[in-house]
Structure 1
Amino acid sequence: MTLTSPQPIQADHDLLLFDSGRPVLDDWLKQRAIRNEHSGASRTYVICDDGRVIGYYCLSSGAVEAGHTPGKVRRNMPDPIPIMLMGRLAIDKTRQGENLGSALLRDAILRTLKAADIVGMRALLVHALDDRAASFYLQRGFLVSPIDPLILMLPLDTARKAIN
């Protein structure tokens, strides 16, 4: 068992057996991740065990209307507000409960902070699939959008303080 650090997805990564228990997340990884990587639509980072993908997340840049953000995010910002979007985060069922989701989220936050040093952005935004997923992010400092309880944002100033 050799667990890798998060790395960009590649065509030779074994995706076939990935099963997070959430078909929408599994199907996206298997059908879209590589294509999105090549087109530049998103960047997917994976962790592997002996070449087999056991977890992933994806990032893309974006913007959100100021009225869709919590006050802490929209204060003194243009409209729309530049953000990093974490489109997906999933762990294979065989490895759930090992804090790999938290480790991948930390990696996503670190990469977002590095990107924010180059290109302005205010927050990391996620669209949680359900209340259980939303709870995962809320426990880690994300704030709820005033328009949808499943849209969550982590202000990057909060992220910087937490990481340091």
Structure 2
Amino acid sequence: MDALGQPTLEPPRRLERHDRRGDFTCGNDELDQWFHRYSWQNQKAHNAVTYVAQQGGRVAGYYALAAATIRRDWSPASFAAHRPQSIPCMLLARLAVDRRVQGQGVGTTLLLDALRRTLAASDQFGIAALLIHCKDEEARAFYMRHVDALESAVSPLQLVVPTRTIACALGGTAE
């Protein structure tokens, strides 16, 4: 419990089969349905890994990460230089916060965790950036408030966050 007697937000962790997904609602049917019906299936099939943050025994928010690539010619020119045709990336496939806790920093907590996991993975594997496909301008504004993302050459709703930028944002140094 916090100072106001509210349950504290638990750190994000990998989705487990027993997690209650059915009562999660963020206000976007597509994000809700994916979490309810497909998050566990995708995780079992190794298509994406979902991370959840719980508060008071309920899922307060989730995000999903998956391996991805971006074509060099779809990338921002400043990022694409000296890269292969298919640039290895991590994809932030989904991020959603339950209506009951929206506006309380849960989304920021989830995004920071996704950035940390991406940076950690980039130390072991070839990951040049985190890709974010924003569902709308509101989501884009959220991400841009928190990280210095580049706009892809394909769409203003597709963001590219180089791992160097992530390292700097998290207070580390980029190699």
For the aligned pair, the TM-score class normalised by the smaller chain equals: over 0.9
* Structure 1 segments of 4+ aligned residues over 4 angstroms from their partners: none
Provide the rounded CA distance (Å) in 2 between the counterparts of 1:115 and 1:83. Answer: 10
Q: Is residue 148 of structure 2 the alignment partner of residue 148 of structure 1? A: no
Do 1:72 and 1:155's aligned partners in 2 also have CA atoms closer than 8 Å? no
Q: Tell me if the contact between 1:73 and 1:122 (Cα under 8 Å) persists in the aligned partners.
A: no
Match of 1:56 in 2: 62
Distance in 2 (alpha carbons) for counterparts of 1:162 and 1:3: 22
Are 2:21 and 1:7 equivalent residues in the alignment?
no
* TM-score scaled by length of structure 1: 0.96
The answer to whether the 8 A contact 2:88-2:126 is kept is yes
Please report how far the alpha carbon of residue 50 of structure 1 lies from its aligned counterpart in structure 2 after TM superposition: 2.8
The alignment's TM-score, normalised by the length of structure 2, stands at 0.91
Q: For 1:32, which of 31, 38, 41 is the aligned residue?
A: 38
Aligned residue type for 2:9: L
Match of residue 22 from structure 1:
28
Larger radius of gyration: 2
Matched, 1:78 2:84: yes
Which residue of 99, 102, 114 corresponds with 1:96? 102
Give the aligned partner of residue 163 of structure 1. Answer: 170
- Between the two proteins, the alignment pairs up a number of residues equal to 164
Contact 1:58 1:87 in 2 (8 A): yes
Whichever residue aligns with residue 150 of structure 1, its letter is L
Q: Deviations over 1:108-148 (max 9, x none)?
A: 00000111011111110011000111111122211111111
Residue 106 of structure 1 aligns with an amino acid whose one-letter code is L
| Separation of aligned partners in 1, 2:49 and 2:104 | 24
- Cα distance in structure 2, aligned partners of 1:161 and 1:6: 22
Secondary structure of the corresponding residue to residue 134 of structure 1: helix
